[in-house]
Amino acid sequence: MAETNGDDDRVTVLEMPAGHTPTWRNLIPSNRNPSAVVRECGDEEKVVTMQELRRKHSGSAKDIKPNVRMGCCKLYSVTYYSPIFGFHLGGFSGRICVQGSGRPSDLVGCQVGSILVAINGKTCGVNANYSIVMKKMRQVIVNPPVTLHFVDNEDFISYFVAAGMANFSLRITSTERLDTLHATLQRRCNTTIISLEIINLSIDGRMLLADVTSAIVGSNIEKLYLCGSIIGARGLQCLPCAFGLLKQLKELNLFESQIGEEACNALCTCLPDWSNLEVLSLDKNRLNNQCCVMLANAMRGNTTMKALNLRINSDIDEEGLGNFVQVLRNGETIEGITSSNHQLVIRANVSRMPPELQRLIRINERSIHISKDQMIRKKVAMVMFRGGFTTNHLARMPVGLMPFLIHFMGDPENAIEMNHGCPFAAAYCFIRNCDCADVFGFPSFERLRIESLERENEELRVRAQASDDTIRALEAKVKAMEADAPAKKKLRL
């Protein structure tokens, strides 16, 4: 059965005929002529195989063209009787593929990189609409059993995994499974497991971190969730040593792990050197304002962190959160603000967020929509015009940034970043009352004209002085000649 984008065709061929040549467009054969070889390109075109594509572009996630020949493929079906499939799908180059699962054991029959070609016998071919396929999957799973057809190609699976499309999340909820963690990560699927969740384990925090560290060092784990485990101060005492070996972690979640001041201090010793960490979640712990001070000091200068979650920590208030202003806006100089973190978003449950921190977070939240330079200009304007208009801050700024700030001040949409204290009249006031020629590093039109006239006047003065000197010299010469005239007359007589 030839694949289509519709859902009115049914798969009846469950084995690949010897004469069929699978391509990216036609993975499964046609019922009308199962042994027919589908021609995807002219004789003059070079035929590209999946094996060649994998060797040449592995890891680059290059799109696969319809005429790429897949080589040896396995067509099979899997029937699901429970209301959960146990895996999640993702689109890749027009196909719907198995991208990962909650844990490796959830994958029954299929594997990461398996290509979905039919749902209950109805095909989903190349360029099938991902949203429509997902809607269909949700509809059929309500009334199991559900039969899915997959195609596996080893070259494609390797290409898919190397391109970073695979995404396993391994969840551990018992100490028995923790004991086998190392063996699990060393099996064939270890390269696809990037997320590890350890939930509600009643085990000593020091032992937990030691076991986890020894198991995942050298793995591809990027996200670590230690939620509901009693880590506490004792466990985090070995944190610098443990996470010093796990620099690849991009996300760390310590939800409800009984972390207080002592444990937070141990965590903060790792943060300055943890350049890969992007998300840190410390929700529902025992943090207070002093913990905010420690976290802010540890994160100062960090420009890679994207999210810090401090929700459900009742001892944190507006005063404690105010310490994070220095992370989002490092000082009041242009250099300091430029080197600040322009993507970090801090989430906390407080009755009132510090106004300046709230405005800085609002700017950072727009990092996906505006450029870094635009965010810097917004922060500079907010700082320089805090509490109303003053010219002293602006006069100390690099001249290259000033025209942008004058333009920024005239935009009413930027009023909130300037704390509503710098209307367009401020630009007019600045221009009228400041020495723009000195502040901006270039003269105005009037100043240029004045300087031109002054130079011309100076040239005329110099020439006039030279003329006066010439006249005086001639007058002196005439007087000398007149004085010598009677003596020369007597000599002639």
SS3 state of residue 189: helix
CA angle (330 as vertex; 245, 254 as ends), nearest 5: 35
* CATH architecture of the domain formed by 1-163: Roll (2.30)
CATH number, span 164-369: 3.80.10.10
Tell me the torsion sign for CA atoms 223, 227, 229, 235: positive
In this prediction, residue 72 carries a pLDDT of: 83
In this prediction, residue 138 carries a pLDDT of: 86
Give the helix/strand (H/E) hosting 170: strand 168-172
Rounded to 5 degrees, what are φ and ψ at 238? Answer: -100, 10
1-163 with 164-369: one CATH topology? no
In this prediction, residue 479 carries a pLDDT of: 87
Beta strands of 401-464 (E only): which ranges? none
- In DSSP notation, 60-123 reads S-PPPPTT-B--S-EEEEEEE-SS---EEEEEETTEEEEEEESSGGG--S--TTPEEEEETTEE
Torsion of CA 457, 458, 460, 462, to 10 degrees: 160
In this prediction, residue 467 carries a pLDDT of: 92
In this prediction, residue 297 carries a pLDDT of: 93
In this prediction, residue 348 carries a pLDDT of: 93
In this prediction, residue 320 carries a pLDDT of: 94
Helical axes 355-365 vs 372-384, angle rounded to 10° = 160
CA angle (274 as vertex; 302, 330 as ends), nearest 5: 10
In this prediction, residue 33 carries a pLDDT of: 45
pTM score above 0.75: no
In this prediction, residue 399 carries a pLDDT of: 60
List, run by run, the mean pLDDT of 10-residue segments along the chain (493 residues). 38 60 80 43 58 71 81 86 80 86 60 86 84 88 88 84 67 64 58 70 68 72 80 58 68 87 85 86 93 93 90 93 92 83 92 90 83 81 59 57 61 51 51 54 66 89 92 89 75 62
Q: Hey, where are the domains in the chain?
A: 1-163, 164-369, 392-440, 443-474
- Tell me which amino acid residue 461 is: R
Helical axes 154-162 vs 50-57, angle rounded to 10° = 20
DSSP 196: E
